[in-house]
Amino acid sequence: MSFWNEFFSKLYIGVLTTLQLLAVAIPSSIILGIFIGVLRVYGGKIEKTLANLYVHIFRGFPLLVTLMIMFFGLADIGIRLTPYWAAALAIIVCSSAYQSEYVRMSILSIDEGQSLAARSLGMKRSVEILYIILPQAFRIAFPGIGNEIIYMILYSSLAYIVGVNEIFSVAISVNSIWFKPTEVFLTTALIYLAMTTMASYGLKKLERKLWIPGFETDVKR
């Protein structure tokens, strides 16, 4: 088999694996991020403290450290995760910590009147959060969450380190056989570029679709 044939057929598997990883990591981290963000604003003292601790740790640890702990560290105490799940979990906890910060800031930026009006209609806290606060907070947090999605695409390449057969680990293994670093790593870079470019294009479109007159969603990075 020629170099390009082998490279591309392996890359195909690698891309699928990366997408599989992201298909789990992106939605889970968003949901978890919103949940933790809500806890940090509305939770009781204990919930708040725990949620803040979670955010401090997983924002403070490099993703790589979290990944090593998930895969090698947890095995020490009898929790053996597959490479795929160790990587997925590491990405989820790390990214949800960052996203919860966007969600928290967005909730805090919503004016008090929204909550007053919701309560004056007889809404319970849970209804108020779900139908009044979060739809607005999500829109405000959207650019930040979008950035996080891009980062997740980029940092999914670290899954190689625990042995997930994603794009970058395909590149490494093909390069170790053929030693054509220029072809291999340039192609790999282009694939990631294509993925991040398409993602940011899609996110822009989605942002426009979610846009509502009078909403300032133009939050900076």
Partner 1 sequence: MNLMTFSKYLPYIFEGSLWSLGLVLGGLGIGFAIGVTFSLVQVYGNPLLRRLISFYVWFFRGTPLIVQLFLFHWSIFPALGINSTALTTSITVLGLRSGAYQSQIFRGAIGSIEENQMLAARALGMSNWDAISSIILPQALRIAIPQISNEYSVILKDSAICFILGIMELMTRAKYAAIATGIALIPYLIAGLIYLVLTYIGTMFFNLIYLKKRIPDSVEG
Partner 2 sequence: MVKDLYKRYGDKAVLRGVSFEVEKGKVKVIMGPSGTGKTTLLKCIDMLVKPDSGKIWLEDLELTDPRIDVSEARRKIGFVFQEFNLFHHLTAIKNVMIGLTKVKKLPRGEARAIAERSLLKVHIDRELWDKYPAQLSGGQKQRVAIARALAMEPMIMLYDEPTSALDPQLTREVLEVIKELAEDGMTSLIVTHEVGFASEVADEIMIMIDGRIVERGDPRSIIYDPRREETRKFFNKIMKIGDELR
Residues that bind partner 1 (CB under 8 A): 56-57, 60-66, 68-69, 72-77, 154-155, 157-158, 160-161, 168, 171-172, 175, 181-182, 185-186, 188-189, 192-193, 196-197, 220-221
* Environment class of 60 (CB within 10 Å of its CB; exposed 0-12, middle 13-18, buried 19+): exposed
Torsion sign, CA atoms 145, 146, 149, 153: negative
- Write out the residues near partner 2 by the rule CB under 8 A: 113-114, 116-124, 127, 131-132, 135-136, 139, 212-215
Angle 181-210/167-178 helices, nearest 10 degrees? Answer: 170
Q: C-beta of 205: minimal distance to partner 2 in Å?
A: 19
User: In this complex, which beta carbon is closest to partner 1, that of residue 136 or of residue 175?
Assistant: 175
Nearest to 15 by CA among 128, 164, 148, 145: 164
The one of partner 1, partner 2, none whose footprint includes residue 178, by CB under 5 to 8 A per kind, is: none
Q: C-beta of 152: minimal distance to partner 1 in Å?
A: 11
d(CA 42, CA 165): 41
Which helix (H) or strand (E) covers residue 101, if one does?
A: helix 83-109
User: In this complex, which beta carbon is closest to partner 1, that of residue 4 or of residue 131?
Assistant: 4
The one of partner 1, partner 2, none whose footprint includes residue 2, by CB under 5 to 8 A per kind, is: none
Q: C-beta of 119: minimal distance to partner 2 in Å?
A: 6
Q: C-beta of 83: minimal distance to partner 1 in Å?
A: 14
d(CA 76, CA 198): 40
The one of partner 1, partner 2, none whose footprint includes residue 124, by CB under 5 to 8 A per kind, is: partner 2
User: In this complex, which beta carbon is closest to partner 2, that of residue 3 or of residue 131?
Assistant: 131
CB distance 188 to 116 below 8 Å: no
Q: C-beta of 38: minimal distance to partner 2 in Å?
A: 17
d(CA 28, CA 219): 23
